[in-house]
């Protein structure tokens, strides 16, 4: 298909597509949405303008491999009738990785140059990159540095990418988390227990917020709030006195200590945690606390386990009640793609093709008032946090109502 790029006419015949970062529902829907439009366009395009979509395996890692020796680990042919039904499934048929082309180490290895050289070897005329702000940011840099036609699509179950009111992957994660909470509640009610349920959500607490409210959690703890565990203890004790059971939802990005907390709160939290660590019953909590913190290739700290701290502190500092800890982990991002993510993914794939047709490159689709808008890949970033004046932020704790 002939289009305008950088003021010149180019003929896009072979389009590459990859998925980067964590998997989530909606990836496959974007692929199908784009492939539908390509297949439709091919019905009327002349032979020398017909297009194909080629999957690149394991995200950016595919472009660091040697096409002369590892073609089967790089390319996956994509035909609409072969993959059309995959839009209902979570995960990614192209597989993924957390490869950072622009890490200091990889820049020294000249991996951005290698990636571009491989795109040329593979005869890729244009690249669509599906991922969060890290993956899309790399696409923006690569496209700008090498003047290459690039597109993106904003995914993340965290729902924290700027430029869109919703990312695909979010709604399915919330639905699965709500089912988890509802299932836990039947046991909590049956045995008069308090369950601490940890949900994924790095620095933005959207998943925990929506799932906590929709699942009827008595207490929901978010990364955006100024945590005070003495207040949490009171909330839990109040819920137990009224209902004889309690659900506490904790976003994995919640922190016991933070520079934004008052000094007295950080000191109190240390006292509470030290009491836990001094008790042999909580040896695993102590071991976790003393482990070095790992980071991924983008410098993001590997999270997980804050719910275990909250569970241990609650159990240690309240009496006469039974507690359990559950970590949903990656289960909530897998399985089926729920309706919103199927539709949103298909819309984003459709939009990428329309941007291409209109000669709008270096962009990704965002949702604004239910309309698709073009956002600049060079401006993508994460950190779309839950505002403390948001209506749902004020509604998040069911215990506040009794």
How far, in Å, CA of 253 to CA of 230, rounded? 19
How far, in Å, CA of 59 to CA of 98, rounded? 8
User: Is residue 290 classed as helix, strand or coil in its secondary structure?
Assistant: helix
pLDDT value for 382: 83
Share the mean pLDDT of the chain. 95
Q: Using CB atoms within 10 Å of the CB of residue 281, give its burial: 0 to 12 exposed, 13 to 18 middle, 19+ buried.
A: exposed
- pLDDT, average across residues 111-139: 96
Report the percent of the chain where pLDDT is more than 70. 98
75 alpha carbon, distance to own chain's centre:
24
Closest CA to 29 of 346, 354, 353, 347: 346
pLDDT value for 230: 97
- pLDDT, average across residues 65-91: 95
Report the percent of the chain where pLDDT is more than 90. 91
- pLDDT, average across residues 219-225: 97
Say whether pLDDT at 228 is over 90: yes
Does residue 207 contact residue 174 with C-beta atoms inside 8 Å?
yes
Q: What string of DSSP letters covers 336-365?
A: BPPHHHHHHHHHHHHHHHHHHHHT--SEEE
Residues recognised as catalytic: 158
pLDDT value for 302: 65
pLDDT value for 191: 96
**Residue pointed to by tokens 């929901």:** 220
- pLDDT, average across residues 270-286: 95
Instruction: Output the CA angle 69-75-78, nearest 5 degrees.
Output: 155
How far, in Å, CA of 89 to CA of 312, rounded? 36
- pLDDT, average across residues 283-300: 79
- pLDDT, average across residues 233-238: 97
Q: Please give the helix or strand (H or E) that residue 216 lies within, else none.
A: none
How far, in Å, CA of 338 to CA of 172, rounded? 5
pLDDT value for 317: 94
Q: Quick one: tokens of 342?
A: 């199927």
Say whether pLDDT at 65 is over 80: yes
More confident residue, 320 or 218: 218
- Per-residue pLDDT band for 290 (boundaries 50, 70, 90) equals confident
Say whether pLDDT at 297 is over 70: no
Say whether pLDDT at 234 is over 90: yes
Say whether pLDDT at 92 is over 70: yes
- HSE at residue 13, side-chain half, CA atoms within 13 A, is 9
Handedness of CA 205, 210, 211, 213 (dihedral sign): positive
How far, in Å, CA of 225 to CA of 207, rounded? 15
Tens digit of pLDDT for each residue in 154-208?
999 999 999 999 999 999 999 999 999 999 999 999 999 999 999 998 789 999 9
Q: What string of DSSP letters covers 169-215?
A: THHHHHHHHHHHHHHHHHHHHHHTEEEEEEE--SS--HHHHHHHHHT
- pLDDT, average across residues 68-97: 96
Q: Please give the helix or strand (H or E) that residue 85 lies within, else none.
A: none
How far, in Å, CA of 366 to CA of 134, rounded? 16
pLDDT value for 304: 65
> Which domains occur in the chain, in start order?
2-168+337-379 (3.40.50.450), 173-332 (3.40.50.460)
pLDDT value for 294: 76
Tens digit of pLDDT for each residue in 347-374?
999 999 999 999 999 999 999 999 999 9
How far, in Å, CA of 119 to CA of 117, rounded? 5
Tens digit of pLDDT for each residue in 34-56?
999 999 999 999 999 999 999 99
Give the alpha-carbon dihedral of 78, 84, 89, 93, to 10 degrees: 0
Beta strands in 80-225 (DSSP E): 126-131, 150-154, 193-199, 219-221
Say whether pLDDT at 380 is over 80: yes
- Per-residue pLDDT band for 288 (boundaries 50, 70, 90) equals confident
- pLDDT, average across residues 197-225: 95
Q: Residue 77 forms beta bridges with which residues?
A: 54
pLDDT value for 201: 84
pLDDT value for 203: 85
Q: Is 239 left (phi over 0), alpha (psi -120 to 50) or beta?
A: alpha
pTM comes to 0.94
**Residue pointed to by tokens 């200091």:** 104
- Lowest-confidence pick of 90-99, 271-280, 303-312: 303-312
Closest CA to 75 of 16, 138, 12, 128: 16
How far, in Å, CA of 142 to CA of 56, rounded? 16
- HSE at residue 51, side-chain half, CA atoms within 13 A, is 30
pLDDT value for 298: 67
How far, in Å, CA of 377 to CA of 364, rounded? 6
């Amino acid at each position: 298909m002939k289009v305008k790029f950088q003021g010149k006419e180019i003929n896009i015949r072979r389009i590459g597509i990859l998925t980067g970062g964590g998997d989530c529902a909606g990836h496959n829907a974007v692929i199908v949405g784009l492939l539908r439009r390509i297949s439709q366009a091919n019905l009327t395009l002349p032979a020398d303008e017909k297009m194909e979509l080629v999957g690149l395996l394991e995200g950016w890692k595919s472009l660091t491999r040697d096409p002369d020796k590892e073609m089967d680990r790089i390319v996956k042919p994509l035909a609409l009738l072969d993959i059309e039904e995959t839009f209902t499934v979570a995960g990614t048929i192209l597989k993924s990785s957390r490869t950072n082309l622009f890490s200091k180490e990889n820049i020294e290895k000249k991996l951005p140059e290698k990636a571009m050289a491989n795109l040329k070897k593979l005869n890729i005329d244009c690249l669509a990159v599906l991922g969060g702000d890290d993956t899309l940011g790399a696409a923006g840099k690569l496209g700008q540095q090498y003047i290459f036609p690039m597109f993106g699509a904003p995914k993340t179950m965290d729902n924290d990418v700027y430029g869109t009111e919703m990312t695909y992957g979010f709604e399915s994660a919330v639905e699965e988390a709500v089912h988890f909470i509802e299932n836990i509640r039947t046991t909590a009610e049956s045995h008069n227990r308090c369950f601490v349920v940890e949900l994924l959500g790095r620095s933005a607490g959207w998943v925990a917020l929506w799932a906590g409210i929709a699942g009827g959690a008595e207490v929901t703890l978010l990364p955006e709030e100024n945590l005070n565990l003495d207040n949490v203890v009171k909330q839990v004790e109040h819920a137990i006195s009224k209902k004889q059971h309690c659900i506490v939802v904790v976003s994995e990005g919640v922190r016991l200590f933070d520079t934004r907390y008052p000094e007295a709160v950080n000191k109190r939290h240390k006292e509470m945690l030290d009491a836990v660590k001094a008790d042999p019953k909580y040896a695993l909590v102590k071991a976790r606390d003393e482990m070095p913190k790992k980071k991924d290739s983008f410098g993001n700290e590997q999270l997980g386990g804050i719910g275990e701290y909250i569970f241990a502190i609650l159990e240690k500092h309240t009496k006469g009640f039974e507690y359990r800890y559950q970590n949903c982990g990656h289960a909530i991002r897998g399985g089926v793609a729920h309706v919103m993510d199927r539709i949103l993914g298909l819309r984003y794939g459709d939009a990428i093709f329309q941007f291409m047709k209109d000669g709008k490159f270096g962009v990704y689709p965002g949702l604004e008032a239910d309309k698709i808008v073009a956002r600049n890949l060079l401006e993508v970033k994460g950190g779309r946090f839950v505002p403390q004046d948001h209506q749902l932020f004020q509604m998040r704790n069911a215990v506040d109502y009794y």
